[in-house]
Amino acid sequence: AFPLSLYRSIHPLSIHPLPSQMPEEDAFCVFTRLMKHHRLRDLFKPSMADLELCFFQLEKLVAESLPKLQLHFQAVGFMTSMYASPWFLTLFSSVLSLSVAFRVMDIFLQEGREIVFKVGLALLEHSQPVLLHSDMEDMLKHFQKEMKIIHDRDPENLFQMAFNNKCSHKKMKRLEKEHQQIREKKASESLELIRFQSENWDLVQRIKVLEKECESLANRLIEGQVSRAQEAEEMFIVKRELAKAKKRIVLLEEEKASGTSVSNGCTEPSPESRSSTSETPDNKKKKKMKKKNAERPSTA
């Protein structure tokens, strides 16, 4: 059995005319029939996938039957969900008078969901001259208040326009298949996007690691350059001190050489001294004799 708690929680939003027109038990049976057999339950699921399908189908039908109105909706940013949600969730019972809503529900029980699209297109077609010259605020006001008053006066014209609209079961199935393909494509693109985002996150993390390694290498390079500069400066200082030390050694060697020759009296003897020291006693006698012989003629 369909959960009674669910019926009590959502029937004020969806089919509130039923309890007012029949006993609650009968209303619950009709409610169960609507929810199970006519797939109204899918409209209230958390994913809202079936309701999104209804919006897609209605938007395509409006673009085909009323292209100017659809372009106007797109121009002002008036989404299908902004005006069509109560059509599908309440079967027009919240936007039209109860007498008109009962007739829609009767046809819905016989023909199914297509009547919602037919009546919706009839409402838009009838209101098109007003909607084309309205902004978003005026359109919301028209859908919420004025539309109910207008069609309560002449519901026959509304249903006549609705039955003239062509919303065959085959066309609705084709649009459903198209919507399914779009959803699958979006799901595939979403998975691809998630994969790209995951790969991008991995790459970002890898880039951060590489940036840290690059920063570390740069710091090491700078430290190496500074160290080599310091070593070069130290080497220059050492070479300079070494050059000074060599000059000092040369000077010291020169000073040492000159100081040793003076202190030891190592002056080289003259030739006369050599000759005087080399004379013997005989040589001295001979020199005296020669000197005497040389003086004799001068005395004579």
Q: What is the mean pLDDT of residues 26-49?
A: 79
Q: What is the per-residue pLDDT for 263?
A: 54
Q: What is the per-residue pLDDT for 59?
A: 94
Is the model's pLDDT at 4 over the cut of 70?
no
Q: What is the mean pLDDT of residues 17-28?
A: 71
Q: What is the per-residue pLDDT for 60?
A: 94
Q: What is the mean pLDDT of residues 38-47?
A: 80
Integer CA distances (angstroms), 267 to 70, 158, 258, 263, 274, in order: 131, 149, 12, 10, 13
Integer CA distances (angstroms), 51 to 29, 65, 100, 189, in order: 23, 21, 22, 22
Which of 84, 104, 227 is CA-nearest to residue 158? 104
Is the model's pLDDT at 235 over the cut of 50?
yes
For residues 122 and 158, the answer to whether their CB atoms sit within 8 Å is: yes
Enumerate residues 6+ apart whose C-beta is below 8 A from 82: 140
Q: What is the per-residue pLDDT for 186?
A: 84
Binning pLDDT at 50, 70 and 90, where does residue 17 land? low
pTM, two decimal places: 0.59
Q: What is the per-residue pLDDT for 3?
A: 45
What are 120-130's pLDDT values in tens digits? 999 999 999 99
Residue 176: burial class (beta carbons within 10 Å; 0-12, 13-18, 19+):
middle
What are 237-290's pLDDT values in tens digits? 999 999 989 898 988 888 888 876 555 554 455 555 455 545 566 666 666 676
